[in-house]
Chains A and B, each alone.
Chain A
Amino acid sequence: MFTSLRFDITLLLPDRPGELLRALEPIAKCGGNIISIIHDRNKVSSNYAIVSLVADFPSRKNFLMAKKSLEKQGISIAKSEEVVEKETFNVIIIGEVDINELFEENEIQILEAEISRPTTGEQSLKLNFEVPKEKAEKAMDKLKKFGEERDLLLITPM
């Protein structure tokens, strides 16, 4: 399966004809596939036009090569970051769980946590968390293992 990495790049280009083409060339040469591009000439400041683009690269190395090539040409890069697609999950955990340990041992970013401690019976905890899409399956497996090792009941969405 072909996989690629997606990057969000913002360039500051001199407001002159041909500058956009000059900037796109090294991206294409380094294997970048442009998904979207916004060249808003209404937002020209100090004779620079802001160009925002999203491009897929075969690897991080290809992206870094394109970045280096752009810099070499004197093109100013205001922003360049990988776009990480994230998945959000809800999980209910029944049983005594050490929240700190849960956060430490699982690579998940908690968005919301709600806990219900009845006077009798087991504690119930609902977590809403997100993980990078490509790591989602692994993260869920790890969380399930965490639960099994501690005799917790994990109720995941179907």
Chain B
Amino acid sequence: MRLSVVGFGFIGKSLVKAIKRKIDFLRELDRDFKVVGVFDSKGGVLSSSGLNLERLSIIEALPQYGEEYTNNLSVLDALREGAIDIMVEATPTNIDTGEPGLTYIREALKSGVNVVTANKGPLVLSYWELMELASKRRVQLLHEATVAAALPIFSLYKRCLQADRIQRISGILNGTTNYILSKMYFEGASFELALKEAQERGYAERDPSYDIDGIDAACKLVILGNAILGKKFTFKDVKRIGIRRVTPEAMALAKKSGYAIKLVGVVDDKPEVSPKMVPITHPLCVHGNLNAVHFETDLAGGVTIVGYGAGKETVSALLNDIIAILKSA
């Protein structure tokens, strides 16, 4: 299979490194497996004989790959040429338009190309349209990395809870807010101070509203609700309250009663993300920048998975999806 990576930011670069590290295993599954294209926002490199993974792994920006880098070359060109079989879409999330990822995914599926994505935007806006397109063209659209990154949520649901009816899913779905609230819980820090530290450590953006106002978690609830509960949710269906108003005094009062305040997303018929008092003995009560997802099911009862919801660990989910496609080919 011929794979292309779209987006050469942190996730794209980390994925290329992980592919290089696991290349022998990937070629055991498919001896013709190769990375034929990598694209950034301004151009890309494309080679039918496969790119040099060693070189790709050490460069910071794609033009440094060498003279093969072509300005204005896009994955859409590669799709038109029929040059790829799997497209990994790792461009930045845009929840207003879904672009450029939405167009890339749509075109890839139309061209009969399997898609693996870490990008929430296209799925939040057009989950069912894209899934129907994938089904029509008999290709796969896998998106494990879109919710809680390295946590195998959709794989767990699809493979390990096949007989269960999922009644509700709740989770700590945003590492940045969990880091801030943990800082407030353990150190009595104010929200402002904890946010500043999260920004200094690179956990929070300069404009942190996407995380602290619950936008990121709400996007994940839409994907969970649609993909696992079969709902037709859109972003505006999610009731959303962020953590800006959580005071250190409120956290201290919660702590005294055996709770921690966490930004919890819950999806059933009425998806909601808001600060909640979580008993410290509950499996969802994880700290630092960890994520946790809790399934309530009719047979297994409660099932919780915990892990890292962002960062370089995301490539675990992307690679797992790539392997799933290689195995089903």
Contacts and interface: CB of A to CB of B under 8 A. Distances in A.
Interface in B272-290: 274-279, 282, 284
Contacts of B266: 158
A94 B264 contact: no
B246 interface: yes
A105 B122 CA distance: 45
Interface in B242-301: 245-247, 249-250, 252-254, 256-257, 259, 261-262, 264, 266, 274-279, 282, 284
Nearest to B192: A121
B254 A122 contact: no
A95 interface: yes
B170 interface: yes
A116 B279 contact: no
A126 B245 contact: no
Chain B interface residue count: which class?
A: 20 to 34
A92 B252 CA distance: 11
A122 B284 contact: no
A140 B262 CA distance: 19
B304 to A, nearest CB: 13
B241 interface: yes
Interface in A108-144: 114, 116, 118, 121-124, 126, 128
Interface in A57-102: 90-92, 94-95
A155 to B, nearest CB: 5
Given A92-B253, A126-B253, A126-B254, A157 B247 contact: no
The number of chain A residues touching the other chain, given as a range, is 10 to 19
A24 interface: no
Contacts, number: 67
Contact of A126 (B170, B257, B262): B257
Contacts of A124: 247, 249-250, 253
A94 B276 CA distance: 13
B279 to A, nearest CB: 7
B282 A155 contact: no
B278 A114 contact: no
Interface of A, helix, strand, loop or mixed by DSSP? strand
A94 B184 CA distance: 16
A153 interface: yes
A156 interface: yes
Contacts of B275: 153, 155
Interface in B283-328: 284
A128 B278 CA distance: 15
B276 A155 contact: yes
Q: Specify which of B245, B259, B264 lies most central, judged by the most chain A CB atoms within 10 Å of its CB.
A: B245
Nearest to B279: A157
A122 B247 contact: yes
A90 B247 contact: no
Given A158-B264, A158-B277, A94 B259 contact: no
Contact of A153 (B170, B241, B254): B241
Contacts of A126: 250, 253-254, 256-257
Contacts of A114: 253, 256
10 contacts: A121-B190, A121-B249, A122-B245, A123-B249, A124-B250, A153-B246, A155-B277, A157-B278, A158-B170, A158-B282
Interface of A: 90-92, 94-95, 114, 116, 118, 121-124, 126, 128, 153, 155-158
